[in-house]
Amino acid sequence: MANQDGVVVSVLTQTKQQESPSAIDRLLTQTHADMARVNTLILERANSHVDMVPELARYLIDSGGKRLRPMLTVAAAALFGSGKGHAINFAAAVEFMHNATLLHDDVVDESDMRRGKPAARMIWGNQASVLVGDFLLGQAFMMMVETRDIEALGVLAAAAAAMAEGEVFQLAKTGDLATSAEDYAEVIRAKTATLFQAACEVGAMAGEADEAGRTALRAYGLELGNAFQLVDDVLDYRGETGTIGKNRGDDLREGKMTLPVILALAEGNEAEQKIITSALGDAEASDEQVRAVVTIMERYNTLGRTMDKAHFHARAAADALSPLPQSALRDLLADVVEFSVSRAY
């Protein structure tokens, strides 16, 4: 689904195992009209007379992200009806929050690459990345304010605070060998699933869903987000540099305590633990070291079990929608969950 403005790119190539259009491509088609309006709003609000702001913001925004979160917002709204027409603003605000987080995360993680291109901070520096992130966050709240929906604003403000809290928790646990699977579950819920949850919840609110509908979409978003991050953390070890848009083993080198490494440390013998800890948090760890760690992970099936957990959350996401009236869009949203998991194959 290449489209003229080039901001939404095809993801068909990523889902090779399917012949028919993937759920995500069907979602792209389904939300195309709304997303065209979202994209226009995004470009408009990333503007500034300070040239560096739109330059940096557009570099990131146009970098081929799938815009999954704002698509979920407009799809969730459409599930319930057109409502007051707030879905476009909500969706753009969600995408700005996401992009603000990416800019700050890349500074925090000292990432060189993002979506297969040099991270913005490698071109404009850490300083501009921090400040443009702040600008996008301010603009996100401005777009929310325009709808005058204080309740939806509260959902996104709470998500902003929770996401930052989750990132700090992850930072505090960096390289901490005592990090538990529960700690990890809390990190991914806060730093990733919260925004998926908020994106879906404000979408339902834009569609004027009743309480049950809003609760269903909240739960759907939360579980989808959990599944999404679990898969991301598997891809970091299993993906090929180039196709995952960053370098294989980055999480290991950054000392990130993700589930595959937590389980491998818990179950490996002393020699295996030593192989892992010598690479963990070492920015200079070689590809050979990463491969050795992956071998240990395969031995204890920690990547497979992390995928099992992703599937568990994916099923919970689909199940969350089942109380809602049957519709093609509801079924499509359930199918989209599969996409978040199938990325890893």
The contact mask relative to a second copy for 30-49 (x = CB under 8 A, - = no) is ------------------x-
Check residue 7 for interaction with a second copy (CB under 8 A). no
Q: How far is the CB of 190 from a second copy (least distance, A)?
A: 9
In the complex with a second copy, which residue's Cβ is closer, 35 or 162?
162
Check residue 122 for interaction with a second copy (CB under 8 A). no
Q: Which stretch binds a second copy (CB under 8 A): 80-88, 160-168, 213-221, 321-329?
A: 160-168
The contacts of residue 65 (CB under 8 Å, 6+ apart) are 115
Check residue 182 for interaction with a second copy (CB under 8 A). no
Binding-site member from 51, 240, 270, 284 for a second copy (CB under 8 A):
51
Go through the chain and tell me how many residues it has: 345
Spatial separation of the C-alpha atoms in residues 244 and 238, rounded to whole Å: 9
H-helix or E-strand spanning residue 234: helix 211-238
The contacts of residue 267 (CB under 8 Å, 6+ apart) are 300, 302
Binding-site member from 1, 9, 168, 285 for a second copy (CB under 8 A):
168
Spatial separation of the C-alpha atoms in residues 189 and 181, rounded to whole Å: 12
Binding-site member from 5, 44, 112, 134 for a second copy (CB under 8 A):
134
| H helical segments located in 48-86 | 52-61, 68-80
Contact 106, 114 (CB under 8 A): yes
Collapsed DSSP state (helix, strand, coil) of residue 32: helix
In the complex with a second copy, which residue's Cβ is closer, 26 or 214?
214
Residues 82-121 that bind a second copy (CB under 8 A): 104, 107-108
Spatial separation of the C-alpha atoms in residues 67 and 132, rounded to whole Å: 19
Q: Where are the beta strands (DSSP E) in 101-198?
A: 113-114, 117-118
Q: How many residues bind a second copy (CB under 8 A)?
A: 41
Q: How far is the CB of 115 from a second copy (least distance, A)?
A: 21
Check residue 183 for interaction with a second copy (CB under 8 A). no
Spatial separation of the C-alpha atoms in residues 138 and 136, rounded to whole Å: 5
In the complex with a second copy, which residue's Cβ is closer, 104 or 238?
104
H-helix or E-strand spanning residue 118: strand 117-118
Spatial separation of the C-alpha atoms in residues 198 and 189, rounded to whole Å: 12
Q: How far is the CB of 93 from a second copy (least distance, A)?
A: 10
Spatial separation of the C-alpha atoms in residues 171 and 135, rounded to whole Å: 23
Q: How far is the CB of 161 from a second copy (least distance, A)?
A: 3
Q: Which stretch binds a second copy (CB under 8 A): 142-150, 234-242, 287-295, 320-328?
A: 142-150
In the complex with a second copy, which residue's Cβ is closer, 124 or 339?
124
Query: Look-up: residue for tokens 């109380």?
Result: 323
Angle separating helix axes 120-147 and 150-172, nearest 10 degrees = 150
In the complex with a second copy, which residue's Cβ is closer, 158 or 212?
158
Check residue 162 for interaction with a second copy (CB under 8 A). yes
In the complex with a second copy, which residue's Cβ is closer, 48 or 301?
48
Check residue 237 for interaction with a second copy (CB under 8 A). no
Rg (CA), the chain: 20
Give ∠ CA 106-254-189 in degrees, rounded to 5.
70
Check residue 185 for interaction with a second copy (CB under 8 A). no
Binding-site member from 172, 210, 266, 327 for a second copy (CB under 8 A):
172
Residues that bind a second copy (CB under 8 A): 48, 50-53, 104, 107-108, 126-128, 130-132, 134-135, 137-139, 141-142, 144-145, 148, 150, 153-154, 157-165, 167-169, 171-172
